[in-house]
């Protein structure tokens, strides 16, 4: 970085060290009171998941959806299966079929009360 210059964190352009604002609109001026310390947002660990949207108004059956999940590969299918069970979502997919194809046991029936449907 050249002397008397600073780099704009927004656009990486070098601007005069005393510039209060970059061409791109980034404001170097320190905010009064509410000092903008670097906000340390923890990086969101996003598992890259294949698109698994709610079904379009298509004619795909639950089995076909299951096959599509399986087509993403074993690892992903397992992960999606897990998530589907945990979060009780993607009801348009026949997860038992997915589980069966993955060689996993079907979701064990809850021996106790039915939590799922409990009011």
Q: Which residues make up the interface to Zn ion (CB under 5 A)?
A: 8, 10-11, 22, 24, 26
Tell the smallest beta-carbon distance from residue 31 to Zn ion (Å): 17
Rounded to a whole number of angstroms, the minimum distance from the CB of residue 13 to Zn ion is: 5
Distance CA 9, CA 13 (A): 8
Indicate the residue among 11 and 49 with the shorter CB distance to Zn ion.
11
User: Please, is 79 exposed, middle or buried when counting C-beta atoms within 10 Å of its C-beta (0-12, 13-18, 19+)?
Assistant: middle
Following CA atoms 52, 89, 49, 47 in sequence, which dihedral angle do they give, to the nearest 10 degrees?
Answer: 160
Q: For residues 22 and 77, which CB has a smaller minimum distance to Zn ion in the complex?
A: 22
Smallest gap from residue 32 Cβ to Zn ion (A) = 22
């Amino acid at each position: 970085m050249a002397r008397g210059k600073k780099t704009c964190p927004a656009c990486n352009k070098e601007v005069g060290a005393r510039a209060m604002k970059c061409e791109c609109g980034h404001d170097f001026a320190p905010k009064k009171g509410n000092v903008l310390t670097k906000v340390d947002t923890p990086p969101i660990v996003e598992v890259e998941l294949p698109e698994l949207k709610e079904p379009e108004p298509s004619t795909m059956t639950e089995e076909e959806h299951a096959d599509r999940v399986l087509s993403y590969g074993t690892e992903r299918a397992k992960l999606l299966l897990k998530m589907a069970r945990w979060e009780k979502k993607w009801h348009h997919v026949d997860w038992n079929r997915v589980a069966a194809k993955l060689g996993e046991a079907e979701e064990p029936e809850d021996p106790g009360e039915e939590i799922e449907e409990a009011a």
